[in-house]
A = this chain, B = another copy of it.
């Protein structure tokens, strides 16, 4: 039993020089750039940005309708206002002289499990339930999941919104999913799971707990066959647009070292009262 850690290089004998930095994504030779086998000069102009995103992460061009559905999800999630920590931190960074790369890197870096992970978590939930459907049926599989979350005091990721009684992005995204199901482009099984969750969450309650942006995009990404972790990646690409727009707005404003509080407010100190440093602060045993 021995562990890889702290700077140790992965040195399995089966890997040698040539495959260490190998990739199946881009093939670069002098005068030649191919992505997933396609020459870049043929891609430029023939496919859109959403299709390029699909090609790069999936390895193949999207089939009919797939890019259009992906594009709707990417459009929907670009921003939700300057108070979100990812946007707020990027705006602050933009006032600190760290360049557009520094501002965008700051914002992207905050999209972790708590602030940017609900979509990925919802995809994992939908997958887990769907795997269970054959065994128990949809209704029971969903009921069990909801019961488990309630017992653990946990939210169902992708449903409900603290601010919006009904997230305005839900309907146009789900309508698009329905259209694509009817066209036979996707099978709609993840949509069924998500709608059954919505139905059961609403049952016996005063107000419904509709899917939010994370839930609606999770349905789309799952229907399109993306892995949950890639769902997070796509959300980050989408939100990067908002991060860029807000960073740029702050840059244009020209403020420097913008603090998080409006001027009349100051931090409140709630700690230990003033005291003097003791004469003998520490005894060194060594």
Contacts and interface: CB of A to CB of B under 8 A. Distances in A.
Interface range for A:
35 or more
A48 to B, nearest CB: 5
A165 B230 CA distance: 35
A282 B45 contact: no
A26 B61 CA distance: 33
Contacts of A7: 80-81, 83-87, 115, 257, 259
Interface in A253-267: 255-267
A151 interface: no
Q: Name, among A4, A12, A36, the residue most crowded by chain B CB atoms within 10 Å (CB to CB).
A: A4
A139 interface: no
A165 to B, nearest CB: 6
B169 A3 contact: no
11 contacts: A4-B257, A6-B212, A16-B262, A21-B82, A37-B274, A49-B74, A61-B281, A96-B115, A101-B102, A105-B109, A179-B286
